[in-house]
Amino acid sequence: MKRLDDFRMQMGRHELVPIMVGGMGVDISSSDLALEAARLGGVGHISDAMIKTVTDRRYKTKYVKAKQALYKLNVESDDKSLVKFDLGHLAEATRLHVESTMTRKQGSGLVFINCMEKLTMNAPKETLKVRMASAMDAGIDGITLAAGLHLGSFALIEDHPRFRDVKLGIIVSSLRALQLFLKKNARLNRLPDYIVVEGPLAGGHLGFGMDWAQYDLATIVAEILAWMKAEQLDIPVLPAGGIFTGSDAVRFLEMGGAGVQVATRFTVTKECGLPDDVKQEYFKADEDDIEVNQISPTGYPMRMIKSSPGIGDGIRPNCEAYGYLLDSNGKCAYITSYNREVAAHPGVKRISVMDKTCLCTQMRNFDIWTCGQLTWRLKDTTHRHADGRFQLLSAEHVFQDYQFSTDDKVNLPEAGVVLAD
């Protein structure tokens, strides 16, 4: 049986190991994880989700504190329409994180940034333009457009000097979504450099409804590849979602994929930005511990471990500090749900809100454990020690297991220490 290493992914002038590590926010796909993927010859992602929180943590900036101080008098108000991001600070934070990552890059691979359209930030077009332009200014190799159709996103940066230089990709979950994107952007004479086809088993937000189980990644990929061939479009296609072994990846490359995007197995690596105790929760999860629910205020279904502490937690909306999901009118579905529960339970100090979550705060605190459907298999990829804890993996080990494994096998790491002190 072929190995994934028997293939190479051509992206412009770059010949790459056909492995792309997906962009998991908030800082779950850390710089360290992305840089390891690039060092090993593949593609790594950082995420710009809650970028100000990331820079405050990693580079000791004070962006969140400054925004909170500016709007502190609005905390008790239901109207969040005046809570705006300082675009200058947003640009600074993005440049700082990207530059700090890119200056450390080694190897022949690439580092991309994941940009979610659903981070509307009370000014969808203005904030998305600043995020993308600032990442390009700071030297990012590529931008992956995620969580939305992004029909107007290319147009926001068409006047940037790197518009035709930087790699631009789109995540879709159907042929129809791809067709809409290409039609909308036809006037720009700028095709995407790659297309990630994300299936129903992926982690985090899904491009499907609650009927996600009726869909199949291989079927969607085959439909897209056939249409692209008929249209004579030569764009690398990377299947994603539920690709757990190198053999899984090989099957997609043999049907015409250029590479694969993977993420779940990297959540339990030392380089991943999740806290180590949360990584143990990923290892321990069984198949029935994983659910797709509708608690995300974005309107998209979301896959997570159902014991996530953020589920049902009725904290006060933190829009003055964060506010990444405020729409163009300053509204968020969590605010509506929170206010409903407060009104229904007068005098209760800590209410419970089950139908939505304050995703900004909960993701910032690593209390919503988003995951892929096959997370329950992680326990079989490592050693369990006598104290019940699982040995963390290195990103290099997981990357090379994808790259060189055969026969649907997962190779265990050399036995070692469970956690660093």
Tell me the one-letter amino acid at 99. Answer: E
Q: Is 329 exposed, middle or buried (0-12, 13-18, 19+ CB in 10 A)?
A: exposed
Nearest alpha carbon to residue 262 among 96, 21, 36: 21
Q: Is 140 exposed, middle or buried (0-12, 13-18, 19+ CB in 10 A)?
A: buried
In the chain, which stretches have pLDDT less than 70?
417-421
Q: Tell me, what's the pLDDT at 420? A: 43
Q: Tell me, what's the pLDDT at 417? A: 54
Q: Tell me, what's the pLDDT at 419? A: 45
Contact between 112 and 140 under an 8 Å Cβ cutoff? The reply is yes
Encode pLDDT of 292-331 as tens digits: 999 999 999 999 999 999 999 999 999 999 999 999 999 9
Distant-in-sequence, close-in-space partners of 277: CB < 8 Å, separation ≥ 6: none
Encode pLDDT of 226-242 as tens digits: 999 999 999 999 999 99
CA distance linking residue 263 with residue 27, whole number of Å: 13
Peptide bond into 54 cis (omega under 30): no
Dihedral sign, CA of 89, 91, 94, 98?
A: negative
Helix (H, G, I), strand (E, B) or coil at 10: strand
Nearest alpha carbon to residue 266 among 398, 382, 384: 398
Chain Cα centroid distance, residue 320: 24
Distant-in-sequence, close-in-space partners of 188: CB < 8 Å, separation ≥ 6: 154, 155, 158
Strands 9-11 and 14-16: antiparallel
